[in-house]
Amino acid sequence: MFKYISKYWLCQILGWGTMMAISLFFVYTSGKIDSNYTISLLISCLLGIFITHMMRYFIHYYSVLKKPVSSQLYYFIILTLIFSILFGGISEAVDYIAGVNPERLQKYSTAKRIFLSSFNSLWLIGIWNLIYYLYHYIETNRKQELDTLRLEAMVKSLELKTIKSHINPHFIFNALNSIRALVDENPERARRAITELSNILRSSMRAEQMETVPLQQELDIVKDYLALEQMRFEERLKVNFDIDSDTLNQPVPPMMLQTLVENAIKHGINKQEHGGFITVRSVFVNNHHELLVINSGIYQSKIDKSETGFGIKSTQDRLNLLYQGKANFEIHDMKNNTVQSKIIIPITEIL
C-alpha cells in the first residue's frame, strides 16, 4: 500500500498522525476527553496537513530553496509567521463551532484566543518548516557530492587519455585544475568544460589518422580550447574570430591552428600582466588560404624559438610534407606589441 504513496505524503500523514495520537494520549490520561474534542483534534490534524501543503506550494512557487541562504532564512521566518496565524485563526474557528472548551471561550476575547492559538501553532509550523528545509538541504548536498564524485571520475578518465594526447600537458593540467575548482562552485559549467576537453583530446588522437579536416571542424576545437583557457584567464583573455564563411569548408591540417593558438596563449597572453587578446582570422588572398593568429605579446626570435621550437618546427614540417613546398608558415612582431602567426596554403577546389 505504502509504495503507492510518495515520500512527502507518507511523512505528512505519519507526522501529523503522530502529533494527534500524542495529544489524544495526554488528554485521555487527564480524563478531559470528549467526542467534540476528538473531532476538533482530527480537524486540526487535517488542517495542519492542508496548511503545511499550502506552505510547501509557496516554497516551490517562489523557488525559495534555490535562493541564497540569507534569503531562505527570511522566507522561512515570514512563511512560518503567516501560516501560524492562518492555522491559529482557522483552528480557533473550528473550536468555536465544535464548542470545545467553553470556559476558554468565555474567559478570553476572540482576538486573544486567535493570538494564543497562533502562538501555540508557531512551534508546530516552525518545526515542520525546519524539518522540510533540513531535508532538502541534506538532499541537495548529497546530490552535489554525487555530482562531484562523477565529475572527478570523468576528470581522472581524461587524465589517462592525456598519455596519448598531442596537446601540451601543461594545458591539460591547467584545464583539469580549472574544472576541479568549478566542480563544487558551478557543476553545470564543469560538465561543459569536460565535454570541451574531451572534444580536444578526441581530435588530437584522431589527428594521426587524417591528413586534413574542414576548417569548420578545426575551428570548433579552437573554440573549445579557448573556452577552457578563458576559465583560467577570465577577463584577462579577449577572443575574436574573423572568419570568411567561404573558407569554412577548406581542408586544413588537423590541430595545426589549435597549436598556433596554444603557442599564442603560452608565450603571449600568459606573459602579459593584464592579459590580452587573440584574434583568429581565415581569408582567401591571391588564390591562397591564409590562417592568421594575432595575439598580444612580443616575439623574441632567439628566445621564443628555443621555447616554442617543437610547435613551430612541427608546423613547418607538416606543411612541407602535405603541400610539397607550396605552403608557408611565418611568425613575426607587429605594431602595438602584437604577434602574428600566419599559415598560407593552396586553395583546394571543393566539389
Give the angle subtended at the CA of 196 by the CAs of 190 and 201, to the nearest 5°: 125
The whole-number pLDDT of residue 33 equals 62
The whole-number pLDDT of residue 163 equals 36
The whole-number pLDDT of residue 323 equals 83
Element (H, E) at 329: strand 328-334
- Spacing of C-alpha 164 from chain mean position: 29
The whole-number pLDDT of residue 288 equals 93
The whole-number pLDDT of residue 298 equals 84
* Distance from C-alpha of 61 to C-alpha of 84, rounded to nearest angstrom: 19
* Distance from C-alpha of 274 to C-alpha of 326, rounded to nearest angstrom: 39
Element (H, E) at 207: none
The whole-number pLDDT of residue 32 equals 62
Q: 296 - beta bridge partners?
A: 338
The whole-number pLDDT of residue 297 equals 86
- Are the C-beta atoms of 296 and 268 separated by less than 8 Å? yes
The whole-number pLDDT of residue 165 equals 45
Would you state the CATH architecture of domain 165-346? 2-Layer Sandwich (3.30)
- 265, 251, 261, 259: which is closest to 348 by C-alpha? 251
Instruction: List alpha helices for 31-109, DSSP H.
Output: 35-61, 69-98, 102-107
The whole-number pLDDT of residue 154 equals 67
Cell numbers describing residue 18: 503522530
pLDDT along the chain (351 residues), means of 10: 68 84 76 67 83 89 84 87 86 72 66 78 87 88 82 61 50 72 76 81 69 88 86 87 93 87 86 88 93 88 51 74 85 88 85 50
The whole-number pLDDT of residue 340 equals 93
**Cell 495542519 -> residue:** 48
* Distance from C-alpha of 237 to C-alpha of 174, rounded to nearest angstrom: 15
The whole-number pLDDT of residue 170 equals 61
- Are the C-beta atoms of 52 and 125 separated by less than 8 Å? yes
Kindly list the domain boundaries of the chain, sorted by start residue: 2-143, 165-346
* pTM of the shown model: 0.51
